[in-house]
Structure 1
């Protein structure tokens, strides 16, 4: 597993020096990426990445994921290019169609159907590619044409994603539309594990089982075809619990928080990692064989708890 990568997302508000210390700790542990989230009840997805990049030497920075419906493509391009420069080419841009309806309502944004949101996401990808290729510039005028007043083009450092014009692109999602989009455009496909519960209001989620995820990964692979060999597959782990009583912990978790799950489903889903560090490391090895996961992300509260697992996998 020499090419496996590990990331953690961060969304809390804290002074810059505390965030810098957290990111340096993560880099020392062996993490490869720190990721910002894009929710109304969390910090900006981009601003903390500048602090993280400045505080570390090799840690890459990214978004998991930017909600496309919150952004105008030109403004998104501007922030993306800014962070790509501030990080000296360490940015990975994650994009998604958005899924929390209450956020749209709170922001005064229209809640569109998933098909329309995916279509708009594809349009944004095309616009970003154009901006990353040509820059964003004023039309020439009698004054602007003067050479001394010309500003440099707003272009990214990296030329890996977006058809060779920008930073690596991650697309997150589980529905057919999002997966088709990822298969066509993404360098990284992200699986977060949350499925909308049927018959419940939008934004009411449950955790996917291993069987459901296997079907989704198979669908994505079918859509990607030969491109799959060029793509990285990311999984966002929702819980990490280092414990010597794996089954007992799972039984309590199901009883208190996952009434729609069986204990076996809790022990086998890739979105829950329960057990000793060695048991979890073995589960991740098996998940890589079964699903192709080579990029593992955990939530910030589990960043330190997951450290011994990284050590075992790196060893």
Structure 2
């Protein structure tokens, strides 16, 4: 990609490691992606009744198989994670990968993960409250050798995390958020911010309306950063594609992708994430066109605004 616009991918964990799974991660590195992420779900949408593997073991295997590719979750949530155990997994992942892990983290949705542990679904307010406490405690767990904490939802009793992350002071957080409270968390704790656009526009909106909504989100992030005394340019802005009214049309050709990526770079985004093709799914793009986009589009994209 250009110096200011990075191209990354999501590899869904539906393949057995020795039957296509490992190859997908190796190919992502060969193609030159900036990063490859995977979803951190127990199951997801149409994949619920089929194969689906865990994010942490998958990323550990990918870390051992690759050398340069950044790796991460897109995204982890409090739905079935606890900060204490997650911190230990992340420190281990960062060590195995040699400091190549990014934690994508969000409040979580209302899908299967929300009730898989037998709990009742949380209200939107409780979900936001839990997310705020989760991120703050996780930040401490990844930066302090020992943490004792008693909160409303989470606690830690002399939780030890020596030697800490390979990346200092900790591995980067990419905070997924669209509302005011989430954006404040991104401004305070995030090295990056992640969005999929405005979900209300997915079914009936237009690409133009979507870009306008994304521009408003970028502006809101700027205000949150200003309130936190932080330069918004220091926060990378990540667009996870496939959930805007464009659907997967940007992946139909190199020209379509260059147009899509360029328009979103103009809004301030400096990382575009596309899904590695999955047959018979919402991400069933042509593998040949997909690889052509990855190898040819970077040379056709002009530099966008600086990410700081």
Q: Secondary structure at the match of 2:126?
A: helix
For the Cα contact (< 8 Å) 1:234–1:294, is it kept in 2? yes
Instruction: Give the number of the structure with larger relative contact order, counting CA–CA contacts within 8 Å between residues 6 or more apart.
Output: 2
> Which residue is 1:219 aligned to?
220
Q: Distance in 2 between matches of 1:27 and 1:213?
A: 29
Which portions of structure 1, spanning 4 or more consecutive aligned residues, are displaced by more than 4 angstroms?
A: 205-208, 269-272
1:207–1:96 CA distance, 2 compared to 1 (3 A): farther
For the Cα contact (< 8 Å) 1:237–1:273, is it kept in 2? no
Mean CA deviation greater in 227-236 or 304-313: 304-313
* Per-residue Cα deviation, 1:72-96 (whole angstroms, up to 9, x for no partner): 1100101111110111110001111
Q: Distance in 2 between matches of 1:57 and 1:2?
A: 21
Q: Distance in 1 between matches of 2:184 and 2:40?
A: 22
Q: Which runs of 5+ in 1 are unaligned?
A: 139-150, 160-164, 198-204, 240-264
For the Cα contact (< 8 Å) 1:136–1:154, is it kept in 2? no
> Which residue is 1:48 aligned to?
58
> Which residue is 1:4 aligned to?
5
Within 5 Å, which residues of 2 pair with 1:155-174? 155-159=164-168, 165-174=169-178
Q: Distance in 2 between matches of 1:110 and 1:130?
A: 28
1:282 and 2:259 matched:
yes
Q: Secondary structure at the match of 1:58?
A: coil
For the Cα contact (< 8 Å) 1:94–1:169, is it kept in 2? yes
For the Cα contact (< 8 Å) 1:192–1:237, is it kept in 2? yes
1:68–1:54 CA distance, 2 compared to 1 (3 A): same
* Larger Cα-atom Rg: 1
Shift in Å at residue 270 of structure 1? 8.6
Aligned with 1:27 (options 5, 26, 29) = 29
Q: Secondary structure at the match of 1:65?
A: strand
Aligned with 1:182 (options 176, 179, 186) = 186
The TM-score with structure 1 as length reference comes to 0.75
The TM-score with structure 2 as length reference comes to 0.76
1:170–1:271 CA distance, 2 compared to 1 (3 A): farther
Shift in Å at residue 49 of structure 1? 0.8
> Which residue is 2:156 aligned to?
none
Mean CA deviation greater in 124-133 or 49-58: 124-133
Q: Which runs of 5+ in 2 are unaligned?
A: 44-51, 149-159, 278-284, 300-308
Count of aligned pairs = 263
> Which residue is 2:298 aligned to?
314
Aligned with 2:94 (options 60, 84, 89) = 84
